Structure 1
């Protein structure tokens, strides 16, 4: 990393005081684990952690700019980062990385006087241990303890409102306004993104009236990256049938006018490096990014052919708006065929619906990072096996490709297609067990793939 960048971070860290560091840590809680933040006691270490998490870099200073703007260090924003209050206010519209919830709490902490904080501590005596209510405890520290003890959370600020109503009704109104806006946004999304019921091409106009659709105007629409692990260092783990999955995906996404690239037999480190490489590409003339990962795995992880694991959250996080700005506001899709555990899903069906020898992989991810425009389709829910035929490929991927070929011409959106896949796979009997795929999505619009005429 460049000397100039290190010098910039050094100068910023030297200008920050203890209270500002506490504020920066509080505002970063959605992006850096609490335990890691608690171990940080000086600004340089905090900025180093942001680098480790790829939240900031030599060509990626947006999150740092936002943090300095939030703590009112406009002097550093201007002198060191060449931005201004007005520019940040424009840039933050729709791009803020600090959640509205954390912005609200930080704003409340700033508005409370020392006497107000003492009142809060007095009213929390039955809820928090005395050791957490000492004289030198700041309001931000109190908020952290309240979160840890489940007294407040993003969708429940009732107790905080009750406390503030007693002596700062003006601030209580700020929480009311936050909750009202949250309700309005939720209602707007319900109206704006209903479940697709249109299955005929002539109903295209009606679909647009009922839900916004991501633009698909460029050719190619984007990269379809396939990471396909077939031959492992230990031959007993070779994944026969996965070549058929790769061929099926290439057939479908070349038809859908994606630039389709397949990488075979990657080590754990190389999986991450390849994903990272594609996140750094210029996607400005692309509409979308799609990534398929076929391998063995365990909970929250994908295995390389060297049996080394890579965290799925680390892979997905490469494509946040901050880390891949040229895809900000555009859909990012990850489809993962791997196991997430070793438990066979119990069956309540009586019919057998599969033929040929079946093997198991393992499936990933309990949750995705809280970022917009990302969809993850997983072969199975947590703790369970997923199945792959040595002759015809995996149950999940083959079903997905078949459904896409059938339903994309009918303008079904991807989430609806994946729901159909869930339904089909869940019905099948797999050597006396079941498989239940999973969809996790923060898409803000419908993702409808354009079929060439």
Structure 2
């Protein structure tokens, strides 16, 4: 008996055009080009897969795999009676995955490409592909499909794709190359869910992961314990971005020289960009007073994070040892902010990583800024010193990490044009080094 037609129709009605395009691309190794081009609906695709024996009688395993890869966990539950965890276990089993890993690697490349990247791909391929295939509506999936059709891309032919990525965005190729190096030339890709254990050990964010044997999915026995980072969104990334300190200057004499934090919006933009790519829902709050900081933290403390795997908080402000300033010049202890998310105070984040990145300028002690000599020998007055910190700022319990802009009793620097050196380096590291099959916390904590 074949899969019930009503079930396939129900799933089909839930999928949009973009998801159909993704499913067609993922099914390329099972259905010929001509048959795929005739597909006009998800149900057409399911019928084609049944014709090829991929959707077997009474066995929707490949359909579960496809829905899992495009992130439609809701359909797994409502129409196929399965769950994310069940499919993950299926894909771990030897022979459990029917999708070639290279196919999924290319699909992940499509998801990582920005609109700007896509425009560059089109311009660089204008001599290789006809103009009719490079229109405004052309997606990265369309480009990859056309390259495959014309023999410009394949399992043993990645040279053109490599060359394009090197010209357009080297981080895209680094992700592909990492996959090649990690998994070998045959079966290369592994999903994010397979990179982590389903358990959450207390006190350890992540450790190294042994490579898979060629042609098989990751054996969980090879993994050291790590946090699960598979929810979508992965969690909230809260950004508290303080720029305008006019209220502080209008207040007590101590803060008359507290400058506005020019350059902080560059940092906020970089954080928004990278954490969006890492599947976090980014929420930014600007120019908060001390009370505003407390109220914002309290509001996120009271939220239900049960269906999220992580919480990230980025604080960009003036400060001093163990202190963050509101734009009114009033102080908020860092420990007060982090303690709000302990297991006792925020139960839905118990056992989950809570990560704080703090960039805070010193304020009055170094209000005039400093000059440094550039490589050209010119003086640059656009650089200001940041805060000194103490490190008794986080609760004495597991699952917390505090990333500071400087060591205790040392200053760090902020460019009024290019942002802070710490935040920019952090974002560049994540942007460059985080292929989608690696959880971001491995890159942050993997070598600590």
TM normalised by structure 1 equals: 0.45
TM normalised by structure 2 equals: 0.45
